[in-house]
A and B are shown apart, each in its own frame.
Chain A
Amino acid sequence: MVDMMLILKIAGIGFVLWAIEEILNQAGIKNAPKYVGIVGTVIILLIVVQQVALFFETVQTMFAF
């Protein structure tokens, strides 16, 4: 359930960022969509890195004697 929430969360953020980029493109602001993309990537990376760190911890505890 937690994993599904995570996937849905990332999908939601991706969808919202895509919508923001589209709106900015329509408004004729050329540089802003790039920055929105970068900010979005950073937000998603922050979420993913936490999960990867959690995964490493789990693996570490598994092999720790």
Chain B
Amino acid sequence: MKIIGIIIILIACTAMGYIIDSWQKSRVDELEDLIYAFEILKGEIDYRLTPIIEACQRVSEMTSPKISRVFECFKRYLEERELLDTKAMWKEALKVNEDHLHLTFEDYKVLNEFGGVVGYLDKEMQKRNVELLINKLIKIKDEAKEKYQRTSKMYRGIGILVGACISIVLI
């Protein structure tokens, strides 16, 4: 019985290490997808002069399922017009999909800025705002990637070792 308990603790701690590691990897992937999505959006606004609802539809069709959900939601809110402004709509779209994403508070803070400026003034203004957001996201993504590369092995190793330490104490 004792051995079974120890094995369970060891497996749980190892799994925990791997889960934290995969969480960080998902964050990097999602940030990359978001940059890709905003690049598409920028292209749609700049070259094709597509209205924001259609542009969001196009972005949701071309990106990964997780990011696609956010843009789909945003598009739906824009069509329904139940919320007060685009800022609230974008915020709500992010909030609804929060469970599916692995982004941090800082990431959401940067992403929320997009809601305030989307659809504001002319094409150039919107293009510049999206570009600014993309630059910020690239910076965050680079930091996240660097952190992931540095701590990836650490989380996995510590998971196993903490499990081993608890097992030894319990023996």
Interface residues of A (CB under 8 A from B): 5, 9, 12-13, 16-17, 19-20, 23-24, 26-29, 43, 47
Interface residues of B (CB under 8 A from A): 150-151, 153-154, 157-158, 161-162, 164-165, 168-169, 171
Contact at B157–A19, with CB atoms within 8 Å? yes
Q: How far is the CB of A32 from chain B (nearest CB, A)?
A: 10
A-B contact pairs, 29 of them (CB 8 A): A9-B168, A9-B171, A12-B164, A12-B168, A13-B165, A13-B168, A13-B169, A16-B161, A16-B164, A16-B168, A17-B165, A19-B157, A20-B157, A20-B165, A23-B153, A23-B157, A23-B158, A23-B161, A24-B154, A24-B158, A26-B153, A26-B154, A27-B150, A27-B151, A27-B154, A28-B150, A43-B165, A43-B169, A47-B169
The distance in angstroms between the C-alpha atoms of A28 and B161, with both chains bound, is 18
Closest A-B pairs by Cβ, 5 of them: A27-B154, A12-B168, A16-B165, A23-B157, A20-B161
Say whether chain B's binding surface is mostly helix, strand, loop, or mixed.
Answer: helix
Q: How far is the CB of A45 from chain B (nearest CB, A)?
A: 13
The distance in angstroms between the C-alpha atoms of A20 and B153, with both chains bound, is 11
The distance in angstroms between the C-alpha atoms of A27 and B161, with both chains bound, is 15
Q: How far is the CB of B6 from chain A (nearest CB, A)?
A: 13
Q: How far is the CB of B130 from chain A (nearest CB, A)?
A: 34
The distance in angstroms between the C-alpha atoms of A20 and B164, with both chains bound, is 11
Return chain A residues, CB-CB under 8 Å to B162: 20
Return chain A residues, CB-CB under 8 Å to B151: 27
Among residues of A, the one whose C-beta sits closest to the C-beta of B154 is: A27
**Additional pairs, 8, CB under 8 Å, beyond known A9-B171, A20-B158:** A17-B165, A20-B157, A20-B165, A23-B158, A26-B154, A27-B154, A29-B154, A43-B169
